[in-house]
Amino acid sequence: MKVIQAVSTTALFLLFAATVPAFAQDDHHQEDAKPEAKAQDAKPAQHEEQAKPAERQQEAKPEKQAKEAKPAQHQEQPKAAQEEKQAKHEQQQQQARSAKQGQEEQAKSQQKEANAARQQKAKSEGQRNEQAKGHQEQANANHEQGQQHVQRTADEERRQREQPSLRLSARSEARIPDDRFRSNFGRAHEFRIGSPRIVDGYSRFQYGGYWFGFAQAWPEGWYYTDDVYVDYIDGGYYLCNPYYPGARVSIVVVL
């Protein structure tokens, strides 16, 4: 009986010895697992702590961006003002150039007009000088002719006085054709009468294929040896003497 109790006691002791390390090992494992669990539990907190600065950084970014954007805006405003000032300055320069160009064109136009006026004036003066020169030459020629006329010989004066008085003709409506008149009569066709002839009882002279009679007395101071020409004035024919401008003798065409 004692032997059975001893065996039972030994068996219980062995069983207890085997059980205690197992419990101890389980406790040790549980204790070892706790730090891991604590570490795992701490990790989200750590992540949260780490996330908070990130969130704060993200929250701070708009403020920082706003702060950084403000200088940019401040920079853009002076830049826009500078560009506007530059554009205004360029516009003023363009207006100044346009005004200067307009003044230059106006000055060129005025200079051109002045040159044209001077040229016209010089041309007019040249024409007046030419006319004056022509008049002077004509006056000189008339003077020379007058001198020649004054210096007639005594024989010419005597023959002129010996000429019989002109026997005047009645006025006539006879006309010289225009083409014949232009080709043989007028200022460009001077001639000398010589001594008039008595034809049918009237004084006549012949020139250009036509006979002419006198409808007016011979002016005093004229000579039959003077250069004269036939002209058509106010519907009638006249004998004109270049030595006496404005004076004339009425003649008629005898057909």
Region for 89 from its dihedrals, namely left if φ exceeds 0, alpha if ψ lies in -120 to 50, beta otherwise: alpha
The domain in which residue 243 lies consists of: 166-254
Looking at the structure of the chain, the number of domains it has is: 1
| 1 belongs to a structural domain | no
- pLDDT score of 3: 47
| 243 belongs to a structural domain | yes
230-214-178 Cα angle (round to 5)? 35
| 115 belongs to a structural domain | no
Question: Would you write out the chain's pLDDT as a tens digit for each of its 255 residues?
Answer: 444 555 556 656 665 555 444 444 444 444 444 444 444 454 444 445 554 555 555 555 555 555 555 555 556 667 888 888 888 888 888 888 888 888 888 888 888 898 888 888 888 777 777 776 765 676 566 555 555 555 567 777 888 887 788 999 988 889 999 999 999 999 999 999 988 999 999 999 999 999 999 999 999 889 999 999 999 999 999 999 998 988 999 999 998
| 241 belongs to a structural domain | yes
| 248 belongs to a structural domain | yes
| 228 belongs to a structural domain | yes
| 239 belongs to a structural domain | yes
- pLDDT score of 172: 87
CB crowding 13-42: b at 16 or more within 10 Å, else e: eeeeeeeeeeeeeeeeeeeeeeeeeeeeee
| 250 belongs to a structural domain | yes
